[in-house]
């Protein structure tokens, strides 16, 4: 049994990590400022975790939260490309200043390891596919810049202070509990909930853009592996977390029509600012050093996700 702090515990990924850790018998403490996280994501486990409503920018609260922790799973962020284009200062405060505060607190508390939710957006719109970790980053949006800057802070804290840090570059993660209600929500959460209600989803662009959509269980597994791996395999390093397969938005929409029973067509709006066209990961580095393997493929993950939204309507 180990003690874990999850930042952003009320979010989609943070709450999924909390459920998985409790299932294994680990101790879970979590912080969330509830800016994008939802307390109902914790309703089934609220009595089994030490939850604190706190902001990453509150250094005292981070010191308190990190005390006695072995691992920190840092998921808290304002996780949106378009929102960062509208509000780059807010994105930087939450995604860079917040991370730096947390790292200082984790270092002072002598936490063993911090695993960070980095982002595939760091690669930007490079034409080379698949994207591998040795490629020169080319971030486009302020969100991507912020996520990449925090990766560098993670690595710096390993080099300067010996705080073991592992950066997991998430590609598009989807699954149960992903919030569909914000204009900045991930495309699958939005499409599924609309289509189940018989409402028309909006595609930005012609739908030929592609993504390496990765089911949440795979991301959870990557975090657990990143905590368990020997330091010489992972500390101060960056790993892609994805499936190594990509689908276009048009293909995804057709699959969702079958799963949801929606028979209409999608509306088309202009492409989104700072959107990237294609995204596909090389996952061989995580396979080699973390023993990471996708446990759930895209089709099965999509079916499970549609079922979850159907059941929770
Ligand atoms: C990006 C990052 C990801 C990051 C996430 C946080 C990449 C490859 N991925 O995801 O690492 O964690 O931001 O937000 O950069 N779309 C529609 N209709 C909608 C919503 C979206 O057509 O209603 C389209 C978007 O224009 C985009 C695609 O669907 O082309 C995926 O969008 P989204 O789910 O928002 O994620 P990314 O921006 O790819």
> 3-state SS string over the chain?
CCEEEEECCCCHHHHHHHHHHHHHCCEEEEEECCCCCCHHHHCCCHHHCEEEECCCCCHHHHHHHHCCCCEEEECCCCCCHHHHHHCHHHHHHHHHHHHHHHHHHHHHCCCCEEEEEEEHHHHCCCCCCCECCCCCCCCCCHHHHHHHHHHHHHHHHHHHHCCEEEEEEECCEECCCCCCCCCCCCHHHHHHHHHHCCCCCEEECCCCCEECCEEHHHHHHHHHHHHHCCHHHHCCEEEEECCCCCEEHHHHHHHHHHHHCCCCCCEEECCCCCCCCECCECCHHHHHHHCCCCCCCHHHHHHHHHHHHHHCC
Q: Whose CA is nearest to atom 31 of ligand 1?
A: 187
Ligand 1 atom nearest to 124, measured from its CA: 15
Task: Using the predicted structure, report yes or no on whether residue 53 has a pLDDT greater than 80.
Answer: yes
Please, which pLDDT band fits residue 278 given cuts at 50, 70 and 90? very high
Show the ligand 1 pocket: residues with CB < 6 angstroms. 79-81, 119-121, 170, 172, 186-187, 190, 202-204, 209, 211, 249, 272, 275-276, 279
pLDDT at 271: 95
Task: Using the predicted structure, report yes or no on whether residue 40 has a pLDDT greater than 80.
Answer: yes
Return the best residue to mutate from 172, 178, 278 for the ligand 1 pocket (most ligand atoms within 8 A of CB). Answer: 172
Q: Return the percentage of the chain with pLDDT > 70, whole number.
A: 100
Task: Using the predicted structure, report yes or no on whether residue 125 has a pLDDT greater than 90.
Answer: no
50's CB contacts (< 8 A; 6+ apart) are 28, 29, 30
pLDDT at 273: 81
Please confirm, yes or no, whether 143 is among the known catalytic residues. Answer: yes
- How many angstroms does the Cα of residue 80 sit away from the middle of ligand 1? 8
Dihedral (C-alpha) 93, 183, 138, 244: value to the nearest 10 degrees? 120
Q: Whose CA is nearest to atom 15 of ligand 1?
A: 121
The CATH code of domain 3-173+215-242+280-295 reads 3.40.50.720
- pTM score > 0.75 for this model? yes
Task: Using the predicted structure, report yes or no on whether residue 47 has a pLDDT greater than 90.
Answer: yes
pLDDT at 1: 87
Average pLDDT over residues 245-252: 98
Q: Return the percentage of the chain with pLDDT > 90, whole number.
A: 95
- Provide the edge-to-edge strand list for the sheet that holds 164-170: 50-53, 27-32, 3-7, 71-74, 113-119, 164-170, 237-241
Q: What is the distance between the alpha carbons of residues 134 and 62, in angstroms, rounded to a whole number?
A: 32
Task: Using the predicted structure, report yes or no on whether residue 277 has a pLDDT greater than 80.
Answer: yes
Name the residue with higher pLDDT: 81 or 50: 50
Average pLDDT over residues 135-144: 96
Name the residue with higher pLDDT: 5 or 276: 5
- How many angstroms does the Cα of residue 121 sit away from the middle of ligand 1? 9
Ligand 1 atom nearest to 201, measured from its CA: 23
Residues in a beta bridge with 203? 268
- How many angstroms does the Cα of residue 272 sit away from the middle of ligand 1? 9
Task: Using the predicted structure, report yes or no on whether residue 182 has a pLDDT greater than 90.
Answer: no
pLDDT at 274: 78
Average pLDDT over residues 137-151: 97
Task: Using the predicted structure, report yes or no on whether residue 88 has a pLDDT greater than 80.
Answer: yes
- Domain segments of the chain: what residues? 3-173+215-242+280-295
Please, which pLDDT band fits residue 126 given cuts at 50, 70 and 90? confident
Return the best residue to mutate from 131, 204, 210, 256 for the ligand 1 pocket (most ligand atoms within 8 A of CB). Answer: 204
Please, which pLDDT band fits residue 183 given cuts at 50, 70 and 90? confident
CA atoms within 13 A on the CB side of 298: 19
Ligand 1 atom nearest to 191, measured from its CA: 23
pLDDT at 65: 98
Average pLDDT over residues 28-48: 97
Mean pLDDT over the full length of the chain: 97
- How many angstroms does the Cα of residue 66 sit away from the middle of ligand 1? 32
Catalytic residue among 4, 116, 123, 143: 143
Please, which pLDDT band fits residue 313 given cuts at 50, 70 and 90? confident
194's CB contacts (< 8 A; 6+ apart) are 180, 200, 201
pLDDT at 267: 97
pLDDT at 252: 98
* pLDDT tens-digit readout, 194-207: 999 999 999 999 99
- How many angstroms does the Cα of residue 100 sit away from the middle of ligand 1? 25
Task: Using the predicted structure, report yes or no on whether residue 86 has a pLDDT greater than 90.
Answer: yes
Ligand 1 atom nearest to 204, measured from its CA: 22
Q: Whose CA is nearest to atom 12 of ligand 1?
A: 119
- How many angstroms does the Cα of residue 134 sit away from the middle of ligand 1? 23
Name the residue with higher pLDDT: 194 or 81: 194
pLDDT at 275: 85
Q: Six-digit token pair at 42?
A: 């914790």
């Amino acid at each position: 049994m180990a003690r874990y702090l999850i930042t952003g515990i009320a979010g989609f990924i943070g709450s999924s990590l909390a459920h998985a850790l409790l299932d294994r018998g680990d101790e879970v403490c979590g912080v969330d400022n509830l800016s994008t996280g939802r307390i109902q994501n914790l309703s089934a486990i609220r009595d089994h975790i030490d939850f604190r409503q706190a902001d990453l920018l509150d250094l005292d609260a981070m010191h308190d939260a990190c005390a006695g922790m072995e691992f920190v799973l840092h998921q808290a962020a304002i996780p949106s490309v378009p929102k960062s284009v509208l509000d780059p200062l807010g994105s930087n405060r939450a995604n860079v200043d917040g991370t730096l505060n947390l790292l200082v607190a984790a270092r002072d508390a002598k936490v063993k390891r911090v695993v960070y939710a980095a982002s595939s957006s760091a690669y930007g719109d490079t034409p080379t596919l698949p994207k591998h970790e040795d490629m020169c980053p080319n971030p486009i949006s302020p969100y991507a810049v912020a996520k990449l800057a925090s990766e560098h802070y993670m690595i710096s804290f390993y080099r300067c202070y010996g705080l073991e840090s592992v950066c997991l570059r998430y590609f598009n993660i989807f699954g149960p509990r992903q919030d569909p209600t914000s204009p900045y929500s991930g495309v699958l959460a939005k499409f599924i909930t609309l289509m189940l209600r018989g409402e028309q989803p909006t595609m930005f662009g012609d739908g030929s853009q592609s993504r390496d959509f990765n089911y949440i269980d795979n991301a959870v597994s990557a975090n657990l592996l990143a905590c368990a791996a020997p330091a010489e395999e992972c500390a101060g390093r960056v790993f892609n977390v994805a499936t190594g397969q990509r689908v276009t938005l048009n293909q995804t929409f057709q699959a969702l029509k079958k799963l949801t029973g929606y028979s209409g067509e999608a509306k088309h709006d202009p492409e989104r600012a700072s959107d990237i066209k294609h995204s596909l990961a090389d996952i061989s580095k995580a396979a080699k050093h973390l023993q990471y393997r996708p446990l759930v493929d895209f089709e099965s993950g999509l079916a499970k996700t549609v079922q979850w939204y159907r059941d929770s309507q």
